[in-house]
Amino acid sequence: MEKYDVLVVGAGPGGSAAARKCRDGGLKTLLIDKQKLPRRKACSGIIANKSQNYVLENFGPIPESAYGKPYHSRGMAFYFPSVGTIFTDCNCFQPYVWRNKFDHFLAKASGADLEDETLFVGLKEKGEEIEVTLERKKNKVQLMVKYLIGADGANSHVIRSFAPEVYDGMTWASAIQKYYEGRIDADNRYLYWFLVRGMGPFPWLNLKDDQIIIGCAYPVGQKSNKFEALIDFLKKNFGLSIKSEIATEGCMANTMTPLNRFFPGRGRVLMVGDAMGLMHQGGEGISCALASGGHAGAAVTEAIRQGTDAFSLYKKSVRPEMVTSLDQFNPLRMKATVASDTKGQPGLFHAHSLGDELKALRDALVFVKSEFQIKGMIGSILKNSARRFFLGGYHIPAVDK
Ligand SMILES: Cc1cc2nc3c(=O)[nH]c(=O)nc-3n(C[C@H](O)[C@H](O)[C@H](O)COP(=O)(O)OP(=O)(O)OC[C@H]3O[C@@H](n4cnc5c(N)ncnc54)[C@H](O)[C@@H]3O)c2cc1C
């Protein structure tokens, strides 16, 4: 039976960061992905400052071929029904990448043994080791590893197979994103967010390499005509005209961050990135996937070298990432903790009258009440924010028990 020190499941940013740290620590590391690489990933591909720094320090410069045009995003454009579009310049440099090329660069640069079209099927804990079952190009194989790092995204099969009670308690949103050739009256330097009812909590639009990218997300179980409603809205309000559809991407997103239900793993299995529930406002998640992956890889390396417990080390080192993620859903802390440097960003309403500001705030409240219907989410955000304000910190059950 093949043996590795570490198996990393999922060759997204979290998995590649974990694999890189393990390789740097001299561990025999296998990085697998179920898809043929390079693979597409539903994502706007905006690389926050924190992600850029992490990649530069740990993997080197992002290859030119991974960038899209426009070269960088200037910020967000918020559309309020009563006021129209308000542009916010982040005053910082956030490039656009194509995730297939960006992620493939990271996976190759991790230096680990890399296998695509290899599916994680299940695991059995056997004393100091784990027996893992994989499906390699349709053939089942077993291997023994000392540690497993689960970086298999928001709908994690690793969690489903070894902690089904955690998986069963998770709530989900579906995200769909389509790429079109056509025309639209929109500024390609901004990511648009439409605060309009009936299109889910995050209906968005951006343009990359002249492709019109339109997407929305909505809680699983709700009626799914939201994408069609968004297309109608864009036709009426932004002159969208579609010549042809280029591609469709879809994925599930979990809501572990706002519910404060992170799952960093247990025993010899460490979870990172989307799979452990880290997410920032607006769905930014590459920066925390990279950071948590790095922490998991470092914890496993140290544990194998020193004969200590990786999970205890990891819980400590990854906790600040959970705090930042909770901050990102805390209205009092959001701006101070974004993954890009927004110090020079003017206020959202800086060029608008008080009347417009009040109208936009009313639109935003109506929108939040109508679209943010995930059970327990608003209550959890309020509870966490109040605790942080009055007691100076969060209680995070996943690591503070
Ligand atoms: C629509 C949308 C837009 C977004 N835009 C941005 C953005 O602009 N900027 C940003 O920073 N973040 C953005 N995000 C978030 C970002 O995409 C994620 O946070 C990030 O990809 C998480 O990285 P990860 O490594 O944890 O998981 P992923 O990137 O999801 O990688 C998981 C990998 O695991 C593999 N896998 C899954 N199951 C198995 C299995 N059983 N066996 C083997 N392999 C498996 C998958 O094929 C995949 O390659 C966006 C998300 C969405 C949905």
Domain at 276, CATH number: 3.50.50.60
120 lines ligand 1 (CB under 6 A): yes
| 142 domain residue, yes or no | yes
| 130 domain residue, yes or no | yes
d(CA 80, CA 165): 40
Q: What is the pLDDT of residues 90-101, one digit of tens each?
A: 878 899 999 999
| 240 domain residue, yes or no | no
- pLDDT > 90? residue 146: yes
Of 254, 271, 200, 268, whose CA–CA distance to 229 is shortest?
Answer: 200
Q: Please state the atom number of ligand 1 nearest to the C-alpha of residue 292.
A: 26
Domain count for the chain, please give it.
1
262 lines ligand 1 (CB under 6 A): no
Average pLDDT of 54-72?
95
| 27 domain residue, yes or no | yes
19 lines ligand 1 (CB under 6 A): no
Q: Ligand 1 centre from 21 Cα, in Å?
A: 19
Q: What is the pLDDT of residues 116-139, one digit of tens each?
A: 999 999 999 999 999 999 999 889
pLDDT of 224 reads 73
Mean pLDDT of the residues in the chain: 93
CB atoms within 10 A of CB 388: 18
177 lines ligand 1 (CB under 6 A): yes
Average pLDDT of 33-48?
95
d(CA 31, CA 277): 21
| 194 domain residue, yes or no | no
- pLDDT > 90? residue 28: yes
Q: Ligand 1 centre from 12 Cα, in Å?
A: 6
For residues 134-172, one letter each, b for 16 or more C-beta atoms within 10 angstroms of the residue's C-beta and e for the rest, the string is beeeeeeeeeebbbbbbbbbbbbbbbebbbeebbeebbe
Average pLDDT of 57-79?
93
End-to-end CA distance of the chain: 37
Which among 115, 269, 284, 288 is the best mutation to test ligand 1's pocket, defined by most ligand atoms within 8 Å of the CB? 284
**Residue 238 contacts by C-beta under 8 Å, 6 or more apart in sequence?**
184, 185, 186, 205
Cα 28 to chain centroid distance, Å, stands at 27
Residue 89, classified by CB atoms within 10 Å of its CB into exposed (0-12), middle (13-18) or buried (19+), is middle
Structure tokens at 312: 């205890």
Q: What is the pLDDT of residues 344-383, one digit of tens each?
A: 777 777 777 888 889 999 999 999 888 877 778 888 999 9
pLDDT of 400 reads 93
| 120 domain residue, yes or no | yes
Q: What is the pLDDT of residues 197-248, one digit of tens each?
A: 999 889 999 999 999 999 999 888 766 789 999 999 999 999 999 999 999 9
Are the C-beta atoms of 225 and 164 separated by less than 8 Å?
Answer: no
pLDDT of 374 reads 74
Q: Residue whose CA is closest, atom 50 of ligand 1? A: 43
- pLDDT > 90? residue 331: no
Which among 108, 134, 274 is the best mutation to test ligand 1's pocket, defined by most ligand atoms within 8 Å of the CB? 274
285 lines ligand 1 (CB under 6 A): yes
Q: What is the pLDDT of residues 242-261, one digit of tens each?
A: 999 999 999 999 989 999 99
| 127 domain residue, yes or no | yes
pLDDT of 171 reads 87
216 lines ligand 1 (CB under 6 A): no
- pLDDT > 90? residue 29: yes
d(CA 28, CA 30): 7
| 54 domain residue, yes or no | yes
Q: What is the pLDDT of residues 273-298, one digit of tens each?
A: 999 999 998 889 999 999 999 999 99
Q: Please state the atom number of ligand 1 nearest to the C-alpha of residue 120.
A: 42
| E-only strand ranges, 84-189 | 84-97, 113-115, 118-126, 129-136, 139-150, 172-183
| E-only strand ranges, 186-328 | 190-194, 204-208, 211-219, 241-254, 265-266, 269-271
Structure tokens at 385: 């924010």
Residue 331 one-letter amino acid: P
Are the C-beta atoms of 270 and 264 separated by less than 8 Å?
Answer: yes
Q: Ligand 1 centre from 254 Cα, in Å?
A: 11
pLDDT of 223 reads 64
User: What's the domain range around 36?
Assistant: 2-67+98-171+256-337
- pLDDT > 80? residue 145: yes
34 lines ligand 1 (CB under 6 A): yes
207 lines ligand 1 (CB under 6 A): no
